[in-house]
């Protein structure tokens, strides 16, 4: 007789049909948890405001998952009457550079940072606690997981822990007060202090904390003595039909291209190679997929690169995987800031199994630079290393001309979604 599956309640905001990187982590954990004798019960908002929709992901939801939905009130729904475009961008993390913010930008950011603490989903906390407290008792659930951002979901976990004594794992896909955009929210002293207090209370009340990078673990260890485990994001085996490689020397960036991620050293390198290598202009293509900041597009134009730009906008996750596999080189750009050392973009792991070389640019000592180096999947550059970057792009271009450009990754299996779920299960069974 098979043992009964252990129930686990997962509280998350992003769930299909939400698109973008935030949905992938728990969509995939939920896919594989039943293989390890866990029954995933997923609690999500009934009427969310998702900045990106990808209906194809609905087909990837495990048939074994129980999905609970409860209504949410979000201020974005009201704010969109004033400027639907601005609220959509802010809710998806695209925040204009402080020097270039309009009056309306400043108003929206001040409201977002000071009136809704920790974020604009905070009104979902009370009704969720009432609903889930009863559900936990009625269904004998002894373990819950909250996933943030939005970090207001950790406040649901906090209240449920206090009321029911349930074992609580707080999963941080990104940091809280040290995340890059936090400083852009125009916080008052009171609001900044409140964020810190809530962050500390969550971390010191949760039974276990899960993070996605070593640097985040180190940062959190200064706040709490609770056990912290690193479980990175990863890749899944995707049913994508192989396509022929691009005939152009395509440099592809997939995902949100924020204002602060604008890599001047990349545009300069490309501009110089166009001037120095006669055939480069015939072969080059800069391929951008996802939400792109206007500042990035303006800079590309200023460097005279518009003729080489293929801006595809947002595509479904399956189409993005296709482009990863057929583009010649994959670009991975992170903000040049001490605060972003801990960020390991979710797409890195999908990049790594695409067999295409990665050109990565980020701050010194970035956690993701170590992963790229260890797996032999590309080359990492700091923002001061323009000449090195230019040299590698030229090397890749010459290999492209010879038909020999590819990546030869090693040790990738440790980052498979099933293997990472196995790590999660070890933690849940402790």
In a domain, 390, yes or no: yes
In a domain, 18, yes or no: yes
Instruction: Read off the pTM.
Output: 0.88
| Spatial CA neighbour of 32 closest among 12, 68, 61 | 61
Domain final residue, candidates 175, 200, 231: 231
196-220 b/e (C-beta count within 10 Å ≥ 16 → b): eebbeebbebbbbbbbbbebbbebb
pLDDT number for residue 1: 44
pLDDT band of residue 240 (cuts 50, 70, 90) is low
Domain final residue, candidates 174, 199, 231: 231
Q: Please determine, for residue 25, whether its predicted confidence score (pLDDT) is greater than 90.
A: yes
204 and 300 together in one domain: no
284 and 202 together in one domain: no
Q: Please determine, for residue 322, whether its predicted confidence score (pLDDT) is greater than 50.
A: yes
Q: What integer is the mean pLDDT of 26-42? A: 97
In a domain, 211, yes or no: yes
In a domain, 214, yes or no: yes
189 and 307 together in one domain: no
Task: Return the higher-pLDDT residue of 84 and 332.
Answer: 332
In a domain, 175, yes or no: yes
174 and 255 together in one domain: no
Q: Please determine, for residue 103, whether its predicted confidence score (pLDDT) is greater than 70.
A: no
176 and 65 together in one domain: yes
CB–CB of 368/348 below 8 Å? yes
208 and 330 together in one domain: no
pLDDT number for residue 87: 42
pLDDT band of residue 120 (cuts 50, 70, 90) is confident
194 and 259 together in one domain: no
- Residues 147, 149, 155, 158, Cα dihedral to 10°: 40
CATH code, domain with 358: 3.40.50.2000
In a domain, 191, yes or no: yes
In a domain, 406, yes or no: yes
pLDDT number for residue 88: 46
| Domain enclosing residue 26, as ranges | 6-231
220 and 257 together in one domain: no
Please count the structural domains in the chain: 2
187 and 287 together in one domain: no
169 and 292 together in one domain: no
Domain final residue, candidates 173, 197, 231: 231
Cα separation of 106 and 110, whole Å? 6
Residues in the chain: 430
104 and 253 together in one domain: no
Q: Please determine, for residue 422, whether its predicted confidence score (pLDDT) is greater than 60.
A: yes
Q: Please determine, for residue 357, whether its predicted confidence score (pLDDT) is greater than 90.
A: yes
pLDDT number for residue 89: 45
220 and 254 together in one domain: no
In a domain, 243, yes or no: no
């Amino acid at each position: 007789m098979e043992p009964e599956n252990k129930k686990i309640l997962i509280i998350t905001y992003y769930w299909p049909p939400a698109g973008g990187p935030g949905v992938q982590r728990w969509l995939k954990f939920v896919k594989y948890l039943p293989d390890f004798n866990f029954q995933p019960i997923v609690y999500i908002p009934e009427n969310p405001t998702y900045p990106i929709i990808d209906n194809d992901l609905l087909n990837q939801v495990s048939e074994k998952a129980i999905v609970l939905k409860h209504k949410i009130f979000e201020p974005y729904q009201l704010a969109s009457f004033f400027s639907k475009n601005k609220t959509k961008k802010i809710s998806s993390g695209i925040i204009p550079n402080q020097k270039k913010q309009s009056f309306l930008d400043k108003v929206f950011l001040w409201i977002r940072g000071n009136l809704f603490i920790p974020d604009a989903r905070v009104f979902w906390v009370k009704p969720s606690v009432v609903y889930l407290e009863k559900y936990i008792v009625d269904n004998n659930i002894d373990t819950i997981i909250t996933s943030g951002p939005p970090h207001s979901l950790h406040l649901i976990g906090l209240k449920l822990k206090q009321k029911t004594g349930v074992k609580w794992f707080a999963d941080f896909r990104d940091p809280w007060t040290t995340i890059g955009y936090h400083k852009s929210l125009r916080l008052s002293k009171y609001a900044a202090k409140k964020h810190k207090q809530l962050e500390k209370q969550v971390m010191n009340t949760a039974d276990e904390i899960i993070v996605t990078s070593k640097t985040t673990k180190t940062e959190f260890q200064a706040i709490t003595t609770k056990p912290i485990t690193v479980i990175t994001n990863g890749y899944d085996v995707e049913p994508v039909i192989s396509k022929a490689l691009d005939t152009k020397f395509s440099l592809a960036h997939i995902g949100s291209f924020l204002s602060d991620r604008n890599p001047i050293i990349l545009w300069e390198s490309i501009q110089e190679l166009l001037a120095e290598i006669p055939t480069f202009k015939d072969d080059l293509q800069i391929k951008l997929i996802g939400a792109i900041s206007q500042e990035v597009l303006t800079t590309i134009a200023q460097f005279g690169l518009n003729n080489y730009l293929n801006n595809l906008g947002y595509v479904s996750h399956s189409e993005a995987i296709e482009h990863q596999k057929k583009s010649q080189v994959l670009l991975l750009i992170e903000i040049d800031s001490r605060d972003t050392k801990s960020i390991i973009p979710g797409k890195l792991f999908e990049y790594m199994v695409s067999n295409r070389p990665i050109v990565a640019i980020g701050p010194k000592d970035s956690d993701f630079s170590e992963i790229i180096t260890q797996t032999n999947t590309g080359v990492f550059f700091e923002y001061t290393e323009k000449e090195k970057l230019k040299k590698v792009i030229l090397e890749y271009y010459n290999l492209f001309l010879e038909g020999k450009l590819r990546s030869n990754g090693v040790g990738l299996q440790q980052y498979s979604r099933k293997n990472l779920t196995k790590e999660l299960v070890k933690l849940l069974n402790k």
